[in-house]
Chain A
Amino acid sequence: EIVLTQSPGTLSLSPGERATLSCRASQSVSSSYLAWYQQKPGQAPRLLIYGASSRATGIPDRFSGSGSGTDFTLTISRLEPEDFAVYYCQQYGSSPAFGGGTKVEIK
């Protein structure tokens, strides 16, 4: 079973700053099967990135994903007010699994 560890747990930043979120897998993950989601309070998660680096439909280009093997990164180039939320990575090995999440909060 592959375990995903996200860091940091909380990221305190100001609007306009760059956010770098990490997702580390306990064993190698196929890049084809690594995704990122955004969740705001009281809402369902929204798919941001699939295949490690492809943006989902309608996702602004300030969101980008990268990485391979066991280390993956979600980058938000310039934080907008609506980007403050919790972010989850997810992989598919033998079964789908999510990381514990990173909260991006306003500093």
Chain B
Amino acid sequence: QVQLVESGGGLVKPGGSLRLSCAASGFTFSDYYMSWIRQAPGKGLEWVSYISSSSSYTNYADSVKGRFTISRDNAKNSLYLQMNSLRAEDTAVYYCARMTSSWDFDYWGQGTLVTVSS
């Protein structure tokens, strides 16, 4: 069965960096676009970034453009999110999700919490 497992969250100071990982299993990872979506405490869902199956194309929300970098390693069935220049407003649970051809998200990980605070 499809599984997505995020890791790498934690407490970081404003201006700091963090790298999130998402380990995928149960499907042919290299066939799918993948995405990161976040949810601030008590708030709604916010799409963050997606990457094409071969890494040739990436897209970012304006709120993270220039600070976050999405990448993937198809040999390791893994998705990454490098987060730099972190701000308090980046505090959220970060989910990785598989994208479908209809540009929706059919499988989600359990999420990893990122807290940006001094």
Which residue of A has the minimal Cβ distance to B109?
A: A44
The yes or no answer to A51 lying at the interface (CB within 8 A) is: yes
Q: Which residues of chain B have C-beta atoms less than 8 A from A101's C-beta?
A: 44-45
Scoring A residues 49 to 79 as 1 if CB is less than 8 Å from chain B, else 0, what string do you get?
Answer: 0110000100000000000000000000000
How far in angstroms is the closest Cβ of chain A from B102? 5
A98 and B45 CA atoms in complex are apart in Å by 6
Q: List residues of chain A with CB under 8 Å of any chain B CB.
A: 32-33, 35, 37, 39, 44-47, 50-51, 56, 88, 90, 92, 95-101
- Interface of chain B: mostly helix, strand, loop or mixed: strand
A88 and B104 CA atoms in complex are apart in Å by 12
Q: List residues of chain B with CB under 8 Å of any chain A CB.
A: 35, 44-47, 50, 59, 61, 95, 100, 102-111
Contacting pair B111 A44 (CB below 8 A): yes
Q: Which residues of chain B have C-beta atoms less than 8 A from A97's C-beta?
A: 47
Which residue of A has the minimal Cβ distance to B48?
A: A96
Contact A35 to B44, CB < 8 A, known contacts A44-B108, A96-B50: no
